[in-house]
Amino acid sequence: MKAGFVNIFGKPNAGKSTLLNALLGEKLAIVSPKVQTTRHRIKGFLTEPGQYQVIFSDTPGIIDPKYKLHEKMMQAVKGALEDADVALLIADLNDDLNENDQLFTSLKLNVPSILVLNKADRVNQKRFEEAKNFFAGRSYGKKISVISALKQDGVNELKEMILSMLPEGEPFYNEDDLTDLPTKFFVSEIIREKIYFLLGDEIPYHSAVLVNEFKEKESLIKIQADIIVQRESQKAIMLGDKGSMIKQIGTTAREDIEKFLGSKIFLQLFVKVRPKWRDNDIQLKEYGYH
């Protein structure tokens, strides 16, 4: 039996969450075209009874912290750096190679790693060769995997590579479990994903979602959540003309939450203004950023 922690690191938007989902074959982590979508370490388990249990971790994209929220995000990365058995260092092939190199070098890894070159569907052969030559000889890149997490190309080969590097050990979690995070967390994340898709500028970065009520009734689950923003002007945009925006967030989130839970839900959303919540320890804790 093999078991171990395989943790994914990289710059914002590299495709970490897309890769986690592709490896698990389940949509666990939210994904968006914007940077800094993921704010937590998200563990997903891939178990083959009697053979292996891989505990994958998606992590926030690595940034220089500007707010306490960012500091909490970087603490989540640090925790994942400390317990990794194998590190997956993921770079977007279209992104600046030097910046990625500097980041991966700065991690000072002392565990085996795989350099994952992602978004191969969006580069030509020339760029691909350039990237491969650039990373050749780097200590963190002795093993290289070229994938498209989005199209799931190369993901099975990467999984085989990971399994060959996994230490011997007994499972850490129940073989039926997919994650150790509560359902409420995923509900709030799905709502947050819709905010990232539907709203521009700084609003997604100024928003948090707090699920206050999760009640299983006879034929449906009743969920009440608050969307937190920093300013009255943001609240007005979040609500939209005659409530059109909050309605759209609610409708699209409801569809995905129903799929995730396999149950009908009733979703009620309120928008609340909490100035500077991103630098307020008590509010950060309340919204799940420990």
By beta-carbon proximity to ligand GTP, the closer residue of 4 and 10 is: 10
- Residue 183 contacts which entry, ligand GTP, Mg ion, none (Cβ below 5-8 A, type-dependent): none
Q: How many CA atoms lie within 13 A of 193 on its CB side?
A: 20
Please count the helices (runs of H) and the strands (runs of E) in the chain.
9, 9
Question: How far, CA to CA in Å, does 148 sit from each of 15, 100, 127, 237, 283?
Answer: 9, 18, 15, 35, 38
8-67 residues in contact with Mg ion (CB under 5 A) are 16-17, 37-38
User: CB of residue 9 vs ligand GTP: minimum separation in angstroms?
Assistant: 10
Verify binding: residue 113, ligand GTP, rule CB under 6 A.
Answer: no
User: CB of residue 50 vs ligand GTP: minimum separation in angstroms?
Assistant: 31
Verify binding: residue 113, Mg ion, rule CB under 5 A.
Answer: no
Q: Fill in the per-residue mask, 233 to 262: x = in contact with Mg ion (CB under 5 A), - = not in contact.
A: ------------------------------
Query: How many angstroms separate the CA atoms of 6 and 162, rounded?
Result: 8
Verify binding: residue 17, ligand GTP, rule CB under 6 A.
Answer: yes
Paired strand residues for 168: 2
For residue 9, the surrounding DSSP H or E stretch is strand 2-10
Verify binding: residue 14, ligand GTP, rule CB under 6 A.
Answer: yes
Verify binding: residue 188, Mg ion, rule CB under 5 A.
Answer: no
Verify binding: residue 162, ligand GTP, rule CB under 6 A.
Answer: no
User: CB of residue 182 vs ligand GTP: minimum separation in angstroms?
Assistant: 20
Instruction: Supply the Cα-derived Rg of the chain in whole angstroms.
Output: 20
Verify binding: residue 18, ligand GTP, rule CB under 6 A.
Answer: yes
Which residue, chain included where needed, has tokens 């891939």? 46
Query: How many angstroms separate the CA atoms of 273 and 232, rounded?
Result: 6
Which two three-digit tokens encode residue 288? Answer: 């799940």
The residues that touch ligand GTP, with contacts defined as CB under 6 A, are 10, 12-18, 31-33, 35-38, 60-61, 118-119, 121-122, 148-150
